[in-house]
């Protein structure tokens, strides 16, 4: 039993921690981590057609948009202070093949969206994904021969896709394929063609995760995936390996690095933040988003509160920004 007299706080030296939490204005004044719309990147899914939008069963509240509607979404994002969009195409079945050659077609959906946003004069950054899963007939991020994912041949394909995207107006190239050496190869190719101003945001610590399911439905790769991606995406049990991947991408010329998925990997985010002095981003992936949405729909949690709490967690762990499907919704709340 304690020997301290009841209500006697003198042993604390007069410090009452709750003083700093007593009022809203005090909490605002001493808040350590601040989330703003400038911290958010909004991923968008692009489809064929005009004035077309299609729902995604496993991503409530997220839609695939035709190019004209992507332009309108870009305007809405820019108006709320969101600095950049990340574009992902849902490629038509008849344009998919084993080589993923639609990835470097100068008239593919990504290129169309880039040109349209640029032509509309929207002041917003444009980030493009470099991987083959959105274009291949097998759903893999790399070229497949006899069941093997080919590294160097895939890197050659990534370079062609990256150059096409830069020519179409991409500001940031984001290779997500996790092949060895792809950052260096893309950097050399961009510089050689005069795109030294185009940055690289490397998916450096991308783990083999079950949390990508809704994304694969959104881009149309999930149902066609043959095999898995564990020979190139990171084992989710490993953190030291993730650090080596980040170090290699930085050495090869990455301007920014990313951890993916997000919330289940905040320990990786913090390690990267502590160890490296480069801008760091995390992707709050589709499965994370879906869990919050579905839990909110079931009445299990406050959806808006969970959204904001999760986004602040990324900043608190050391992220400079977050790719999130909540971006526009969160930005409007933060601006209110």
How many Å apart are CA 196 and CA 177, to the nearest integer? 22
Give the number of other CB atoms < 10 A from CB of residue 84. Answer: 21
Q: How far is CA 8 from each of CA 11, 12, 13, 15, 16, rounded to the nearest angstrom?
A: 7, 9, 11, 12, 12
Q: Is residue 315 annotated as a catalytic residue, yes or no? A: no
Does the annotation list 80 as a binding residue? Answer: no
Angle between helices 303-317 and 286-297 (to 10 degrees): 150
Q: Is residue 75 annotated as a catalytic residue, yes or no? A: no
Per annotation, catalytic residue among 6, 75, 160, 206: 206
Per annotation, catalytic residue among 75, 160, 260, 315: 260
Residues tagged in the binding site annotation for Mg(2+) = 245
Residues tagged in the binding site annotation = 245
Catalytic residues: 206, 260
């Amino acid at each position: 039993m304690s020997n301290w007299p009841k209500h006697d706080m003198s042993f604390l030296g007069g410090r009452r921690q709750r003083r700093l939490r007593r009022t809203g204005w005090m909490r605002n004044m001493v808040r350590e981590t601040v989330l703003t719309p400038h911290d958010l990147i909004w991923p968008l899914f692009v489809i064929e057609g005009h004035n077309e939008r299609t729902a995604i069963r496993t991503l409530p509240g997220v839609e695939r948009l035709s190019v004209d509607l992507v332009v309108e979404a870009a305007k809405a994002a820019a108006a709320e202070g969101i600095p950049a969009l990340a574009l992902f195409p849902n490629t038509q079945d008849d344009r998919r093949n084993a080589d993923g050659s639609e990835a470097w077609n100068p008239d593919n959906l990504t290129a169309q969206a880039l040109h349209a946003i640029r032509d509309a004069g929207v002041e917003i950054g444009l980030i493009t994904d470099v991987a083959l899963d959105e274009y291949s007939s097998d759903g893999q991020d790399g070229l497949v021969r006899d069941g093997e994912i080919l590294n160097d041949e895939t890197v050659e394909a990534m370079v062609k896709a990256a150059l096409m995207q830069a020519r179409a107006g991409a500001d940031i190239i984001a290779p997500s394929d996790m092949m060895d050496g792809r950052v260096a190869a893309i950097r050399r190719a961009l510089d050689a063609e005069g795109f030294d101003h185009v940055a690289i945001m490397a998916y450096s610590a991308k783990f083999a995760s079950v949390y990508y399911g809704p994304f694969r439905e959104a881009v149309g790769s999930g149902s066609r995936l043959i095999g898995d991606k564990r020979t190139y995406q990171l084992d989710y049990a490993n953190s030291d390996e993730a650090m080596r991947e980040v170090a290699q991408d930085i050495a090869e010329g990455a301007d920014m690095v990313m951890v993916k998925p997000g919330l289940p990997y905040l320990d990786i985010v913090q390690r990267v933040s502590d160890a490296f002095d480069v801008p760091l981003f995390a992707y709050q992936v589709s499965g994370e988003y879906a869990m919050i949405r579905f839990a909110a729909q079931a009445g299990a949690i406050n959806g808006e509160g969970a959204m904001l709490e999760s986004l602040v967690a990324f900043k608190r762990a050391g992220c400079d920004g977050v790719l999130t499907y909540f971006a526009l919704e969160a930005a409007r709340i933060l601006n209110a």
